[in-house]
Amino acid sequence: MHMNKVISCSKAVEMIPDGATIMVGGFMGVGSPHRLIDEMVRQGRKNLTIMANDTAFEDIGIGKLVAAKMIRKLITSHIGLNPETQRQVIEGEIEAELCPQGTLAERIRAGGFGLGGILTPTGIGTVVAEGKQIMEVDGKQFLLEKPLTADFALIAAHRSDYRGNLEYSLTARNFNSIMATAGRTVIVEPEHIVPTGVIPPDAVATPFVCVHHIIGRA
Amino acid sequence: MHMNKVISCSKAVEMIPDGATIMVGGFMGVGSPHRLIDEMVRQGRKNLTIMANDTAFEDIGIGKLVAAKMIRKLITSHIGLNPETQRQVIEGEIEAELCPQGTLAERIRAGGFGLGGILTPTGIGTVVAEGKQIMEVDGKQFLLEKPLTADFALIAAHRSDYRGNLEYSLTARNFNSIMATAGRTVIVEPEHIVPTGVIPPDAVATPFVCVHHIIGRA
Amino acid sequence: MDDKILIAKRVALELKSGSLVNLGIGLPTLVPRYLPSDMEVYFQSENGIIGMASVPGPGMEEPSLTDAGGGFVGAIPGAASIDSCFSFGLIRGGHLDLTILGGLEVDEQGRLANWMVPGSRLPGMGGAMDLVTGAKRVIVAMSHTAKGQPKIKKQCSLPLTSVRRINLIVTEMAVIEPTDEGLVLREAAPGVKIEEITAATEADLIVPAHVPEMQVDPALPGDLFYLGGTSRSH
Amino acid sequence: MDDKILIAKRVALELKSGSLVNLGIGLPTLVPRYLPSDMEVYFQSENGIIGMASVPGPGMEEPSLTDAGGGFVGAIPGAASIDSCFSFGLIRGGHLDLTILGGLEVDEQGRLANWMVPGSRLPGMGGAMDLVTGAKRVIVAMSHTAKGQPKIKKQCSLPLTSVRRINLIVTEMAVIEPTDEGLVLREAAPGVKIEEITAATEADLIVPAHVPEMQVDPALPGDLFYLGGTSRSH
C-alpha cells in the first residue's frame, strides 16, 4: 500500500491563499491545468504573483486569471496575444517582469535544483540587462539571472500514476516538467490517472517525489 | 529518404586524434560505450583528456583507457574503485581534476546549453573552492564552476533510430544524455538501432539533432 | 510576385540539408513551402518539438501539438518532444543552425530590434532574444520599409533584441549582409534599381561594383501557405 | 549485537514514511532492513534511480540497474529513472529528505570529512559533497573510533566534505546531535557509560542531566543484509 495523493480540484485550490506565488504550466494555453485555473476563478483568489511563459488568450488558460483581475504581479516572456494583459500592464494594474523565454525556463530550473542563478548571454546589451550583474567568464560576458521558486506549481500532464510519476504529451510538456521541480507544493492535473507501475521508469518525465497532489477525475 | 548516420566502430574511432578532449558516458561501467572504448584501446590513442563521472574498474569501461595509459588529463568525480587510476594520479602520470558529481553533471550541461557556468553551493568552504570565484546572490554564497565542452562525446544508449533519436535504460542513462549536448561531435553506441518513427517523440531522451554518428551492429 | 512570397523564396535558398531551423511567427513560416523536395530540413518550434511539419490534413489536428503561436502543427516520423529548458538549451548552446525572424528595425551594425514598441506595443520578447543571441545563423526576413519609412537605420530607435550581429537581411527589395565593414548590398530584387534601395535605406550601404539580381524560381507556387497555419478554435 | 547492526537499527528509527532517502555505500545500506514493513521510504541512488530496491532474487539481475557502487539492485513498481543532472538537482534543490553517510571525522561544529585522506587515499568526492550540502537532513553513521583514535574531533584533520552542519551522528556508542551550542550527547548505547563515550570523543560533548539509553529492537534480524549487495561479475 502506498500513499494516495489524489484530491479534488476544489480541495486543491482551497490550499492556495490570496497573495500566493504560483507557477502555472502551459504555452499559449497548451498544456495548462485548465480545471485548476477554472476553479481558481470560481473560488476567486486575488493579489496573485503568477510565473508562466505567457498569458495565452483572453478566454483561454492563464488569460482567465487576467480577465478575472486576480493577478498583481506577472513574471512571463510573452503577453502579445492577450490584449487584456497588455492593457492591465500598461495601465499599471499588473506589475510585469518580462523575461526571455529561455532565461525564464532556466531560472525556474535553477530554483528547483538549488543553483544560485544562471549565467546567460541572452539579454546582454539590451533593456533586460538593466540593473543586473554582468559576469565575465573566460572573456565572454554573461548576465546573472536569479532563480525562481514559488509557493505552488500548478501543472498539467498527460498521465500520472497514483504515486505521481508523470508523462507529458508533445508540446504540452513545455514548462510543466520544469515547474514540477520548483514549486514548494506541486499540484498536477493529469488527463489520465493509471495504476502505479503502468508508467515504466524510463518513460517518467517527472518523478513522483516532485509531485504533492494529483487532481482526480472530474 | 533521410541521412544515414550509421558508421562502423573503427571508422568512428579513426576520427579521434591523439590529444583529443573526450567525454565518455557511464557510471562505474554501466552505460559506457564499451565497443568504442575497446576500439580506442585497439587503435592506441594517447594524451587524451577524458571527462567522465569515474574510471570504473581496472578491467572495465574507462578503466581500460587508464590501464592502456592513454589518458593525460582526467576531469572526474570518483576514482576510488580503480587503484590503477589512483596510482597514475598520485605518481603524476595523469593530471586529475576532481569535481563533485552534481557539479560535473551541471558543468557539462552548461557547456552544452550555452550557459557561462553554474552557481552551486556545493564545495563552498572546501578544497574544491580553492582558486574559484565565490558569488553572493541574495545573501547566499555560491561557487562559480565553469562549463565543460569536448571535441567528442562517446555515449551509450539503449535504442537509437536511424536519425539518432535515443532512448536509455534505467541507470545506464546517467551522464550519457547530458554529454550528448556538449560534444562537438557526438558518437553514440546503441544496443539496438530501430527504424525512424519507432521511438515515439515523447520517449526520446536525446533528440536526433544532438547526435552526429551512430555505431552500427558489430 | 507577392512581396512575401519573393522574400520566402529567396530565404529558402539559404537553408541547408540536415540543418535545424527555427521559424519566427508570420512571414518566416512561408519558407518551408519553397524548399526542394529532396532537401531534409528539421524545424524546431521552441515550445518543444523538433521535426515540426504541417497538420497532415483536416480533422487530424492534435491539441497537444502546436507551434509557438498556438496554431496546430504536425510532426515528421522521428520527431522528438522536449521541454522548454532543452529547447532553449539547443538554441543558446549553438545547436540551432538557423533562425529566420521578422524585424522591426536593423541598425548599421546589423543589430536587430523586433520585440517591442515602447508606449504602444508590449508583447514581450518570447524566445526572440535567445534565438538571436544563440542561433548559429540569423536571417531577418522583413519588408524593406514600414509606412514608407526605412527599417534599416543608422541606429535602431526601438529596443534591441540582441547586440549580436545578424547574418543576413532579406527584403522585397534586396539582400543585405552585415559585415565588419558595414552593411553590404549583396543582391537587388528583380526590377529594383540600386538607387531605389539606397533611397529606401537610412543606413549606409556598401555597394559592390557588381550587384547581382536576386534569383528566385517564379515557377514555384505563389499562394501564401504557412507552416502550421491551422489556427486554434479560440 | 554487531556494532554495524546496532547503528543500522538505530538509524532506521530516524526514517519517515513517504520520504526520499539516499544511502551512502557500506554501512548505510544496512538500514532498509530495519524499517517497519508498513513504512514506505523511497531510496534514491544518485546514479539515476528513484525507488531502488534489492534484486528480486538470484538470476534476476539487470545490467542496467545498479547502485552508485556498481552493484546490482532492483526497483519498486513506480520507480523512475533520471539522468545525473536531475538526480543531483533533487539533491541540491532540497528535494532529498535525508542522506545517510559514513564518516571519517566530524568536528565540534558538526562538519563532516569523509572523502579523502591526503597522501594515501584519493578516491574523489563522488556525490558526497552535493549530498551533504543539499540534503534536508544528514545523518552520519560510523564507528565511534578508528584504530582506537576518536573520529569526533575538535577540528577535522582531513579535508571537509561540506561546511554544512550535519544533523545527527550515530555510532555504536552514542547518538550525538550537533547544535548551535555544540555537540549534544542524546543517547548512550546499551551498557556504555557516559565516561566511556567522552573518553572516546576528542570534541567537547554537552551532556544533559539525563541521557537515555539507545533503544533498538534486538528481535529484528541480526545478519548483515545490504540493500543492493549483489556484486557485479568483474
Kindly report, residue by residue over A161-216, the tens digit of the pLDDT.
Answer: 999 999 999 999 999 999 999 999 999 999 999 999 999 999 999 999 999 999 99
Question: Given A120, A126, A175, which is nearest C159 (Cβ)?
Answer: A126
Q: Which residue reads 543585405 in cell numbers?
A: C176
Q: Is D49 helix (H, G, I), strand (E, B) or coil?
A: strand
Please give the pLDDT value at position C171: 98
Mean pLDDT of D144-173: 97
Number of domains forming the structure of chain D: 1
pLDDT in tens, B67-76: 999 999 999 9
Nearest CA-CA partner of B106 in B91, B116, B93: B116
pLDDT at C233 over 50: no
Residue burial A174-200, b: 16+ Cβ < 10 Å; e: rest? bbbbbbbbbbebbbbbbeebeebebbe
CA D93/CA D105 separation, integer angstroms: 26
B99-151 pLDDT per residue, tens? 999 999 999 999 999 999 999 999 999 999 999 999 999 999 999 999 999 99
Distances (CA, A) of D99 to B53, D46, D103: 20, 11, 12
Selection from D24, D25, D31 nearest residue D9 by Cα: D31
Partner-chain contact D80 A114, CB within 8 Å: no
Residue A72 has pLDDT above 50, yes or no: yes
Domains of chain B: 6-117+147-215 (3.40.1080.10)
Mean pLDDT of A133-154: 97
The answer for residues whose C-beta is within 8 angstroms of residue D223's C-beta and 6 or more apart is none
pLDDT at C183 over 90: yes
C217 pLDDT band, cuts 50/70/90, is confident
B74 to chain A, closest Cα gap in Å? 21
Give the whole-angstrom CA distance, residue A9 versus residue C99.
41
Q: Give all strands (DSSP E) within chain D, no chain letters.
A: 20-23, 42-45, 49-53, 74-81, 98-101, 105-106, 112-113, 138-141, 145-146, 149-150, 168-170, 174-178, 183-188, 205-206
- Residue appearing with cell numbers 567528442: B152
Identify the active-site residue in D14, D46, D61, D105: D46
Q: Which residue numbers of C are catalytic?
A: 46
- Whether the CB of C129 is below 8 Å from some CB of chain B: the reply is no
| Stretch C160-186: mean pLDDT | 98
Q: Are C61 and C230 in contact (CB under 8 A)?
A: yes
Quick one: residue C16, left, alpha or beta (phi over 0 = left, psi -120 to 50 = alpha)?
Answer: beta
CA distance B212 to B194: 16
Nearest residue to B27 (alpha-carbon basis) of D53, D76, D49: D49
Is the pLDDT reported for residue C224 higher than 90?
A: no
Give first-to-last CA distance, chain D, whole Å: 33
CB distance C50–B208 less than 8 Å? Answer: yes
Per the listing, cell 569526533 goes with D152
Distance CA C15, CA C12 (A): 6
Q: Nine-digit cell at C34?
A: 519553397
Its sign, for the CA torsion A83, A84, A89, A95, is negative
Please say if the pLDDT value at position C67 is more than 60.
yes
3-state secondary structure of D14: coil
Q: State the Cα angle at D233 between D228 and D234, rounded to 5°.
A: 115
Q: What is the 3-state secondary structure (H, E, C) of B21-86?
A: EEEECCECCECCCHHHHHHHHHHCCCCEEEECCECCECCECCHHHHHCCCEEEEEECECCCCHHHH
- Minimum CA–CA partner of A180 in chain C: C83
- Span D184-200, average pLDDT: 97
Contact A217, A183 (CB under 8 A): no
Name every chain B residue with its beta carbon within 8 A of the beta carbon of A203.
Answer: 202-203
Task: Choose from A137, A144, A148, A168 for mutation: most chain B CBs within 10 A.
Answer: A137
Count how many pairs of residues, chain A against chain D, have C-beta atoms within 8 Å: 66
CATH of the domain at D170: 3.40.1080.10
Determine which of C82, C84, C92 to mutate to test the interface with B (most B C-beta atoms within 10 Å): C82
Q: Please give the interface size between B and C, counted as residue pairs whose CB atoms are below 8 Å apart.
A: 66
Q: For testing the chain C interface, which of A57, A98, A170 should be mutated: the one with the most C CBs within 10 Å?
A: A170
Section A70-84 average pLDDT: 96
Average pLDDT, chain D: 93
Q: What is the pLDDT of residue C167?
A: 98
Q: Which residue of D has its CA nearest to A166?
A: D80
Report the DSSP beta bridge partners of residue C213: C188
Is C touching D (3+ C-beta pairs, cut-off 8 A)? no
State whether A209 and D92 contact (CB < 8 Å).
no
Across the 218 residues of chain B, what is the mean pLDDT of every consecutive 10-residue run? Answer: 86 98 98 98 98 96 98 96 94 96 98 98 97 96 98 98 97 98 98 97 98 93
pLDDT of residue D65: 97
Using CA of residue D7, residue D12, residue D13, residue D16, what is the dihedral sign? positive
Q: Are strands D20-23 and D42-45 parallel, antiparallel or unpaired?
A: parallel
Residue D233 has pLDDT above 50, yes or no: no
Q: Which residues pair with D121 in a beta bridge?
A: D117
Chain B residues lying within 8 Å of C78, measured CB to CB: 2, 161-163, 165, 196-197, 199, 208
Average pLDDT, chain C: 93
- For residues B38 and B60, the answer to whether their CB atoms sit within 8 Å is no
CB D55 within 8 A of CB D29: no
Residues with Cβ < 8 Å from A205, sequence gap 6 or more?
Answer: A166, A167, A168, A173, A177, B202, C83
**Average confidence (pLDDT) over C21-50:** 91
H/E stretch holding D180 reads: none
Nearest one of B115, B122, B181, B195 to B153, comparing CA atoms: B181
Show the domain range for C94.
3-233
Residue C64 in this model has a pLDDT that exceeds 60? yes
What's chain A's average pLDDT?
A: 97
Interface of C with A in 23-82 (CB under 8 A): 45-49, 62-66, 68-70, 75, 81-82
pLDDT (0 to 100) of residue C229: 52
Residue in B81, B102, B109 nearest the CB of D92 = B102
- CB contact under 8 Å between C123 and A123, yes or no, is no
Task: Give the whole-angstrom CA distance, residue C197 versus residue D74.
Answer: 70
